């Protein structure tokens, strides 16, 4: 009358699931800081590149007009495509002598000129002040 029904369900035990979750957690604890540092390095490289490009445009502007520009967005538009919309990336970047790990948050999104108008700045720092050493 009663047939024996074999319960042949495949699956993971609770212990196996807990071990997998622990391994994934450990890997994420290692990977997330590395990912954040990679983003900060990319932001640093972009800021350095932007500042060097703006500095080159400043030299070209000065050679053509005999004076330094007063505004990046308006004066350098003929030398840099989209100079009026050029902005620093959001997030963190590396600044030389910027603390224990050198990583600082980017507060200003716009690049500006120094008081003399001969260099571009991001957060009050020139291109050579960004980096990891």
Round to whole Å and give the CA distance between 14 and 57.
Answer: 63
Burial 91-109 (b: 16+ CB within 10 A, else e): ebbbbeebeeebbbebeee
Q: What is the pLDDT, as a whole number, of residue 26?
A: 94
In degrees rounded to 5, what are phi and psi of residue 130? -100, 145
For residue range 25-77, what is the model confidence (pLDDT) as tens digits? 999 999 988 898 999 999 999 999 999 999 999 999 999 999 999 988 888 98
Dist. CA 118–CA 10, nearest whole Å: 71
8 Å CB contact between 128 and 63: no
**Residue of 101, 98, 91 whose CA lies nearest to 130:** 98
Structure confidence by residue, pLDDT tens digits, 9-19: 677 889 999 99
């Amino acid at each position: 009358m009663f047939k024996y029904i074999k319960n042949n369900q495949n699956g993971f035990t609770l212990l196996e699931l807990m071990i997998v979750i622990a391994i994934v957690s450990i890997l994420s604890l290692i990977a997330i800081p590395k990912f954040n540092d990679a983003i900060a390095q990319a932001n640093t490289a972009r800021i350095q590149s932007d500042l060097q490009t703006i500095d080159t445009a400043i030299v070209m502007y000065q050679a053509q007009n005999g004076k330094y520009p007063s505004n990046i967005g308006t004066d350098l538009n003929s030398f840099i495509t989209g100079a009026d919309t050029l902005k620093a990336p959001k997030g963190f970047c590396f600044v030389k002598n910027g603390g224990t790990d050198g990583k600082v948050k980017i507060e200003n999104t716009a690049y500006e000129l120094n008081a003399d108008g001969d260099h571009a700045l991001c957060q009050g720092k020139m291109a050579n002040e960004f980096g990891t050493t």
